[in-house]
Amino acid sequence: MIDMSAVYFAFLIAYMLRYNFEVYSFETSLAFSQAFVVLAVYTLFMILFQSYAGMIRHTTLKDTYKIIFSDTSALIVLFIVTLLSRQNEWRQLYNIPLSILLIHYGAVTLFLIFFRVFIKMFYEFSTSSAREKRNVLIYGSGSLGVVVKRVIEGDPKSDYKVLGFIDDAKKLQGKYVNGSPVYSRKVLTKKFVEEKDVKVFIIAINNIEPTWKKDVIESMIKLGCEILDTPSFDTWLNGQLQIKNFKKVNLEDLLAREPIILDLERIEKGLTDKTILVSGAAGSIGSEIARQLTRFSTGQLILVDQAETPSFYLGEELKEKMSEQKIKIIIGDVTQQDNMEHIFRKYRPEIIFHAAAYKHVPIMESHPHEAFRVNVGGTKILTELAIKYEVEKFVMVSSDKAVNPTNVMGATKKICELLVHAQANRKNIKTEFVTTRFGNVLGSNGSVIPLFKKQIQEGGPVTITHPDITRFFMTIPEACQLVLEAGFMGNGGQIYVFDMGEPIKILDVAKNLIHLSGLEPDKDIKIVFTGLRPGEKLFEELFAEDEPMLPTHNPKISIAQVAENNIDQLIPNINDILESLYTFSDQDVIEKMKEIVPGYRKKLEFHNQ
């Protein structure tokens, strides 16, 4: 009604302007009648373009475009009507002076736009004047950066205030983009941040290179700012970016790892229409392998785990990605021979991804019997069933702790590697056995990252075993993608080792997490060193000295050649240990493992239980 009233009265004012406000110079009744004709045409296009439908206090540039398109279309139609009226000598009602139409068009268009701008400005002033806003710098003054700025300024509930942009393009530095100055990254000093009172730094660049992004984050992380990232377009709600979509940068962004390029054709060929069994499917690695498998045209997916609740949630999640009929959630223990035999006999898996294992080093130090029973015993059962039921491919997930192990968990993983290699060398079998070896994965259940985050949320302290301890890190999706890739390399018998990048100091991880939480290490959150735990190494290794490294077609995957020492005696030794496992003391179990793994260097004392 406001827009229609503006159109109507603006036309009458345009009429009077045309005649210098000499009302007696024109027929007033005709002017009022023609005003209704103009109103009808403008209303038609208002409805067509929905120029009236936007909430005035949230007016954007798109709303002004609608007004211009609507009014221009109405002007063109009225011009045509007037010209046709003069040509065909229609009634005077339709013969509207063109000058009046032009004056009216300009006046009503400006009024409608400025009315909306005024209301928006008034609303923002009245709702934000009492709220303190945090100063923001946006990294990237391109199209995404401008979108981020408009989103912040267009939300009256926003507690952000844009100070300007940071951009590496020299041609933009010192200029203004969308009304805000563009700075060089060189200005980002402690003094600049304090003087400008910068509280938030938002990364707004599409497809930023990992190393570049890491460099940017590291340059800001020690300046005390909250660092936010702009999500990819496909995560925006209905294609619209909102302030709540901004997310804190992750520790993964500081790894600067390049995206993995998979041989999708090879993987697709190996997985198409196959029945695939994943053991330990509810765990961090097993569940991500299952997620990755939904990308391909697999047959049936058999997900085995003894944890009931996590298995339920995994099943519900995967049902959204593939047919419910293709997913079978099975509660089962890989160490129970009859249970596993029943599963193999019923579903006849063609490919197995074996991720079931006990993995926590400190706990396994106190439970060597269980570590051997589950990790080694479970692997033995599954490998033998794979051979018996002529499984095509068996892929085992190992660990960097299997290299020169100093703890129970690592020793059991090394024995598993040797066991899988021994099974691969058996004659007249159809199963191809493959082992994959990699280090820590970020965010896995019980890993150091979630523990640090929990400690930070609780106000500290953050506990680290040693100031010099280092670990290899990789993201869970990255690790599982490489597991799929390695699973379809070669003809079996290989140990594929993943490129984990450079080892990272755990102390640096803790400090970065504290900084990313907007806090200061040793000031807001104390860091405490507790000493190395039983069996814990200062640093991990990916290759042993007797494992020469060979390349593959994927630069992120290498082959570790296995030294075949006493391979004929391996399986009988494992059988002997499993048969009498609980007659041994903790130290006896460890000594038995040392006999199988000569590189097992146990440095700490154990107490018999």
> Residues 475-494: pLDDT tens digits?
788 788 888 888 888 777 78
Domain boundary among the residues 249, 279, 313 is at 249
* Residue 161 and residue 119 share a domain: no
Asked, for residue 456, whether it belongs to a domain, the answer is yes
561 vs 596, more confident: 596
Question: Rounded to an integer, what distance in angstroms lies between the CA atom of residue 343 and that of residue 340?
Answer: 5
Give the pLDDT band of residue 257 (cuts 50, 70, 90). Answer: low
Please report the pLDDT score of residue 376 as a whole number. 95
Please report the pLDDT score of residue 579 as a whole number. 93
Asked, for residue 260, whether it belongs to a domain, the answer is no
- Find out whether 549 and 559 touch, Cβ atoms under 8 Å: yes
Enumerate helices (H) and strands (E) in the chain, giving the number of each: 20, 22
564 vs 187, more confident: 187
Please report the pLDDT score of residue 608 as a whole number. 36
* Residue 351 and residue 243 share a domain: no
* Residue 118 and residue 29 share a domain: yes
Tokens representing 523 are: 């000031």
Which residues touch 515 (CB under 8 Å, ≥6 apart)?
Answer: 221, 222, 521
Pairing of strands 351-354, 393-399: parallel
Please report the pLDDT score of residue 147 as a whole number. 84
The amino acid that residue 530 corresponds to is T
Asked, for residue 425, whether it belongs to a domain, the answer is yes
Its domain, for residue 141, covers: 134-249
* Residue 32 and residue 111 share a domain: yes
Task: State the chain's mean pLDDT as an integer.
Answer: 84
Asked, for residue 104, whether it belongs to a domain, the answer is yes
CATH number at residue 208: 3.40.50.720
Give the pLDDT band of residue 351 (cuts 50, 70, 90). Answer: very high
Examine the pLDDT at 335 and tell me if it is beyond 90.
Answer: yes
* Residue 213 and residue 71 share a domain: no
Examine the pLDDT at 239 and tell me if it is beyond 70.
Answer: no
Q: How far is CA 106 from CA 100, 112, 184, 463, in A?
A: 10, 10, 41, 69
Please report the pLDDT score of residue 369 as a whole number. 96
**Listed range (238-247, 388-397, 415-424) with the worst mean pLDDT:** 238-247
Quote the percentage of the chain above a pLDDT of 70: 89
Question: Rounded to an integer, what distance in angstroms lies between the CA atom of residue 14 and that of residue 102?
Answer: 9
Domain boundary among the residues 249, 282, 316 is at 249
Asked, for residue 607, whether it belongs to a domain, the answer is no
Q: How far apart are the first and last CA of the chain?
A: 86
* Residue 219 and residue 94 share a domain: no
Mean pLDDT of 2-30: 83
- Find out whether 284 and 309 touch, Cβ atoms under 8 Å: no
Question: Rounded to an integer, what distance in angstroms lies between the CA atom of residue 115 and that of residue 3?
Answer: 10
Asked, for residue 257, whether it belongs to a domain, the answer is no
Examine the pLDDT at 219 and tell me if it is beyond 70.
Answer: yes
Question: Rounded to an integer, what distance in angstroms lies between the CA atom of residue 278 and that of residue 338?
Answer: 18
Domain boundary among the residues 127, 153, 176 is at 127
Tokens representing 604 are: 């700490």
* Residue 176 and residue 79 share a domain: no
* Residue 498 and residue 445 share a domain: yes
Asked, for residue 254, whether it belongs to a domain, the answer is no
- Find out whether 349 and 275 touch, Cβ atoms under 8 Å: yes
**Listed range (348-362, 457-471, 509-523, 595-609) with the worst mean pLDDT:** 595-609
Q: Which helix (H) or strand (E) holds 48?
A: helix 28-49
Please report the pLDDT score of residue 607 as a whole number. 36
Mean pLDDT of 106-130: 78
Among residues 466, 590, 475, the alpha carbon closest in space to that of 528 is found at: 466
* Residue 161 and residue 121 share a domain: no
* Residue 33 and residue 52 share a domain: yes
Examine the pLDDT at 261 and tell me if it is beyond 70.
Answer: no
- Find out whether 379 and 420 touch, Cβ atoms under 8 Å: yes
Please report the pLDDT score of residue 159 as a whole number. 78
- Find out whether 152 and 217 touch, Cβ atoms under 8 Å: no
Q: What pLDDT digit, counting tens, does each position of 276-327 carry?
A: 999 999 998 899 999 989 988 888 999 999 999 999 999 999 988 888 788 9
Question: Rounded to an integer, what distance in angstroms lies between the CA atom of residue 290 and that of residue 328?
Answer: 11
* Residue 208 and residue 118 share a domain: no
For the chain, what is the largest distance between any 2 Cα atoms, rounded to a whole number of angstroms? 118
Give the pLDDT band of residue 262 (cuts 50, 70, 90). Answer: low
Question: Rounded to an integer, what distance in angstroms lies between the CA atom of residue 177 and that of residue 181?
Answer: 6
> Whole-model pTM above 0.85?
no
Tell me the three state secondary structure of residue 323: coil
* Residue 176 and residue 153 share a domain: yes
State the total domains in the chain.
3
Mean pLDDT of 330-359: 95
